[in-house]
Chain A
Amino acid sequence: MEMLSGGDMLVRSLQDQGVEYVFGYPGGSALHIYDAIFRNKAVKHILVRHEQAATHAADGFARVTGKAGVVLVTSGPGATNAITGIATAYMDSIPMVVISGQVPSEKIGEDAFQETDMVGVSRPIVKHSFLVKDAAEIPEIVKKAFYIAETGRPGPVVIDVPKDVTSPAETFPYEYPKKVKIRSYFPAEKGHSGQIKKAVQLLLEARRPVIYSGGGVVLGDASKQLRELARKLNYPVTNTLMGLGAFPGTDKQFLGMLGMHGTFEANTAMHHADVILAIGARFDDRVTNTPEKFCPGAKIIHIDIDPASISKTIQADIPIVGSVQSVLSEMLELLAQSKESPDEQALADWWQQIEDWRGRHGLYTKNRFEETGQIKPQEVIQALHEVTGGDAIITSDVGQHQMFTAQYYHFNRPRQWVNSGGLGTMGFGLPAAMGAQFAERDQQVVCVTGEGSIQMCIQELSTCTQYHLPVKIICLNNQALGMVRQWQDLHYDGRYSESLYEESLPDFEKLMEAYGHVGIKVTERSELKSKLEECFAMKDRVVFMDIYVDQSEHVYPMQVAPNGAMRDMWLSKTERT
C-alpha cells in the first residue's frame, strides 16, 4: 500500500474525491498541507485575497455545480475570516467542505499563536465538524465530510487539522474509502407513500391552488419534476428568492417571486389560495410575513428533506419528509394513473383572477416606477436581461440591487441565480462570481452589486486578474446603502443615519485600471444599452459598469410589516393594497 504523510493524504483524498478546485489562503498551521498542494498535480488551488472570499467562491462553485465547494485556510484569523462564508453556506444549505489548519495537538488549549477553537466557533453554523486526532483517520474523515456535506439537506462541514497531524516526518498506509457509513446519519430519500397519496388527492380537489417552491428544488435537482407537475395540473407557480430558476421566469404559469418583495400577483394568490403545495421551501419570515395571518384559507402540503423544516413556523396539513425529486416523481406517477382531474371551471376562474391581479399591479404595469429622468435600477436589470439574452449566470450582493435582479432578470434555469438569501451577506457577489466562472468557464458570469456591497470584497479584483476570470460587474451606484436608506425613508422619517457615502466613493474607473480591468461609468439613460453592449463585447476582460441610478428609488412591492398578511403590500411610495 502507498505510504503518505498526513498532509499528502489530505490532498490525495481531495483528489480521489474528485475535487478540482480548492479555494484558499496559506498560513503557518497549514504549511504542511500547502506543501502537499505544491506536489499534487490534480487539485488546483485558487489563491484568494481574503479567506471570506475563499468560502464565497467555493460557495458560488457549489451553487452552480451542485458539488461541494472546498476551502483551505490556516488556523486563527484564517479560520475566523472564513466564518461569514460558512454561515452564508449554512443558511442556504450549500454543500461545502472547509479544511482549517490548527495549532499542533499538544499546543491546543494553550492560547498558542494563531490558535482559535475552530470546531467551537463554527459549531452553530456547520452541519458537522471534525477535529483530526490521528493522521491515519484523514481519508475516512474526508470521505465522511463530503458525504455529510452533499447528502440530505446539504451544508458546510469543517475539518480542523492540527499541524502535527500533517507532518511530513511520518507516513501512513493510504487508501481512500469507496463507501462510508455513519451509524447515526440516514438522510431521507423516499417520502411516505400514504402521505403522497393524500397530497395528490388534496391537489386534485384544489380550486385555488398555488405551488410555492424554494431552494430545495434547485439543490435537489427537481426542476424537471416541478415543471412537469405544474404543466400537468396547469397550476400557478411562485418561487422563493432561493428557488428562482427552478421554474422558468418567463413562463405564463409563473407568478414571480413571493414574499417581502414578491410580486403583487404571487403574494395575493398565496393569500387567497385554498391549497398550497410547498416544495423544498422553509416558510422563511421574509416569505410568510406575520405567521398568524399567513394564507388563512389554505391547506398546506409541505415536502422537505429536513423534518425540522416542516411545521417549524407554519403548521403543515400534509407533511412529507423526503427528497423533493423522489416525492415529485411519485406524485407524477400517481397523477398519471389517476382518473380524476382538477375542476376545470374553478381553475379557469382562478387563472382569470390571477391575470386580473397581474394586469392591475404586475411588474410591468404602468407607473411601476416614477419618471425622474435618471436611470432606474429596474431598467438596468431589464437591459442586462436583454443584452445577455437572459442566459448569463448572475450572482448578486445584498440589498436593493439583489431584489431588483430577483424581480426583473427572469431566470429560466436552476443554478443560474447565485445569491445569499438566508444570511444576506454583503460582499458575497464578486467572489461567488469567481467560483461560478471556475465552474462554467464558457458561460457569461455577471455580478450585480451596489457600490456598498462591492467594497466589502473588492480585493478579489486581484484574484480575477491572476486567474483571468472575465466576470462582468454591474454596479447599481446610488451613492447610498439603498435598502437601509429605503427603510429609513419608510420607518425613520428619512433620517439617513450612516447610510450615505457623501463624497467618499472611489473613482471606480481608475480603480479598475489599477487592477488591470476596465471601468465604464454610465450616467445618462440614453447610453445605458450601448454601454452595456460595449461591456459584454469585451469577452476576456473584467468590466465594471459603474451605473449611476436614481437614489430615491425604492423596491416595490413591499409587504407591510409588522402585522401584515401576505397580501398587505406597498405597491409604490403612495399606493397600498
Chain B
Amino acid sequence: MSEKQSKRIISLLMENAPGALSRVVGLFSQRGYNIETLNVAPTDDASLSRLTLTTIGSEHNIEQITKNLNKLIDVVKLVDLTEGSHIERELMLVKVKATGALREEVKRCVDIFRGQIVDVTSTVYTIQIVGASDKLDAFVQAVSDAQILEVVRSGVSGIARGEKVLSL
C-alpha cells in the first residue's frame, strides 16, 4: 500500500437533515482521518446539502475514507474531485493594518492577486480574495510586511470541469 500522502478534495451530496453533518464529521474523528477544510451549504435541491472537504492522506486512506463515507445512509453521492480535472475555489477575507507607505503597497498587492478591497477605514483595509487555496496562501505571504489583523477563509469548494456533474 502506497504511503505517499496527497491532498484530496472530496465533494458529496447529503441529506439536508439534522445529524447528517455530524455523521460525516464524526466519521473522520472516529476513524482517525483528518479534515483540513470543510464547507457545507444547501443546493438548488432543498433536500440536499453539498459538502466539500479537503483531507490529506495516502491512497489507501483516501480509499477507506470514500468507502466509509459512502456507507453513511445520509450520504447520497460522493466524488473525489482530485481524481479528474476540476476547479477549486476558496474565498478569503483579510483585515490588514494599512497606514503610510504600506497603504499603497498593500493596494498593489491586492490588484496583482485580483482581489478586492471591500471595506476601508483610515487605518485598515478589508480584502477579499478568491482562488485556489495556494493562491490564498501566497497572498497572505505577499502582504506579510503589513500587519495582518484577521484572516477568515471559507474552506475549499470545488466542481468538476466539463460535462461531469455531481447530482442525483
Asked if A484 CB lies within 8 Å of chain B CBs, one says: no
Residues of B within 8 A of A129 (CB): 19
Which of these, A119, A148, A182, A306, contacts B19 with CB under 8 Å? A119
Nearest residue (CB) in B for A152 is B71
Render A103-129 as a binary contact track against B, CB cut-off 8 A, 1 for contact: 000000000000000011001100111
A508 to B76: give the CA distance in the assembly, Å: 54
Contacts known (A183-B76, A183-B168, A312-B64); A124 close to B26, Cβ less than 8 A = yes
A148 to B74: give the CA distance in the assembly, Å: 12
The distance from the CB of B133 to the nearest CB of chain A, in whole angstroms, is 28
Does B67 contact A308, Cβ atoms closer than 8 Å? Answer: yes
The distance from the CB of B83 to the nearest CB of chain A, in whole angstroms, is 17
Residues of A within 8 A of B60 (CB): 311
Residues of A within 8 A of B74 (CB): 184
The distance from the CB of A405 to the nearest CB of chain B, in whole angstroms, is 32
Render A140-171 as a binary contact track against B, CB cut-off 8 A, 1 for contact: 00000000100000000000000000000000
Does B73 contact A128, Cβ atoms closer than 8 Å? Answer: yes
Does A308 contact B64, Cβ atoms closer than 8 Å? Answer: yes
Chain B, interface size category, equals 20 to 34
Does B22 contact A306, Cβ atoms closer than 8 Å? Answer: no
Which of these, A119, A184, A307, contacts B67 with CB under 8 Å? A307
Asked if A91 CB lies within 8 Å of chain B CBs, one says: no
Does B73 contact A148, Cβ atoms closer than 8 Å? Answer: yes
Asked if A131 CB lies within 8 Å of chain B CBs, one says: yes
Nearest residue (CB) in A for B71 is A308
| B 66-86 contacts with A by CB, 8 A | 67-68, 70-71, 73-77
Does B19 contact A184, Cβ atoms closer than 8 Å? Answer: no
| B 1-27 contacts with A by CB, 8 A | 1, 15, 18-19, 22-23, 26
Nearest residue (CB) in A for B27 is A124
Does B22 contact A120, Cβ atoms closer than 8 Å? Answer: yes
Nearest residue (CB) in A for B69 is A308
Residues of A within 8 A of B19 (CB): 119, 123, 129, 131
Does A131 contact B18, Cβ atoms closer than 8 Å? Answer: yes
Residues of A within 8 A of B70 (CB): 307
Interface centre among A306, A308, A312, A315 (most CB of B within 10 A): A308
The distance from the CB of A180 to the nearest CB of chain B, in whole angstroms, is 12
Residues of A within 8 A of B1 (CB): 315
Which A residues are within 8 Å of any B CB, using their own CB?
A: 119-120, 123-124, 127-129, 131, 148, 182-185, 306-308, 311-312, 315
